[in-house]
Amino acid sequence: MKPSIYITRKLPESVINPLQSEFEVDMWEHGDVPVPRDILLHKAESATALLTMLSDRIDKELLQKSPSLKVVANLAVGYDNIDLEAAKELGVTICNTPDVLTETTADLTFALLMATARRIVEADRYIKEGKWKSWSPLLLSGMDIHHKTIGIVGMGSIGEAVARRAKGFNMNVLYHNRSRKHEAERALGVQYSTFEDLLIQSDFVAVLAPLNAGTKGMFQEEQFTMMKKTGIFINAARGAIVNEEALEKALKRGDIAGAGLDVFEAEPIDADHPLLALDQVVAIPHIGSSSKETRYEMMALCVENIQAVIKGDQPKTEVQ
């Protein structure tokens, strides 16, 4: 009997075809609707491998009910949806998709920064709603990006890629990380800063840290009040790093000037969420790595990891 693989979103045939000859492949029929929990639990019970999304909760309950499960390949660099301790205890290999999405996510992060600073979304809406009647000296005037200071919270590979882009805009780059990155400092000309000093000095604060016990709820009212009133906050990491109510208050009070958000505490965010009513907020639906090229690379890497584990080989990107 062939090993079985369950895929929790509908993926292109070209991605799953390499699996069909060696494995029994079952796949949720929707690409934009999460698989219901009861169906996921049922499918996992007999699966040898799961190809999952961040929205799929791979917890101890699921892992304990899946005696044949050998590997979970998460279609993301993050894995905060997975109980790593339970997986290790039960001998299930966990894989993610780092590196292949670094440059694409950095592109999106910087695009979000630019769109927020230069009010691109507001300007697009302004012209499409027929409001443009005449030229005005300060019409939709935003703020410059060049020669400003950006503070990067989380100097992993994506943080370094954003720093390279910032240097192209002649920006001064500060960073805060749980450990100093001396090589990045030498190669990129970036400067390590305490978290508090970074908030005080930066014109742009870009969050690119992983979600863990140390970063969850990292941004509260206190942190936003430390930022410049002209400051812009960018989150392309994880929504739970930020207290959204505190961010909303900071924006409404004028503690900061704007926010660009790719991630939210609850996803998908409700259309009537108060943050979305603010013109100075640019919100996009967690698309940091969403270029066609990169998403296909991520899918292919998941497939390779699954094949490797089932065959008894070492996967390319196992989460340690």
Active site residues: 238, 267, 286
Q: What angle do CA 23, 26, 32 make, to 5 degrees?
A: 135
No. of helices (H) and no. of strands (E), the chain? 12, 12
Q: What string of DSSP letters covers 12-46? A: -HHHHHHHHTTSEEEE-S-SSSPPPHHHHHHHHHT
Provide the 10 A C-beta neighbour count for residue 223: 21
Closest of 93, 98, 300 to residue 210, by C-alpha: 98
Contact 202/174 with Cβ under 8 angstroms? yes
d(CA 29, CA 48): 19
Contact present, 219 and 193 (Cβ < 8 Å): no
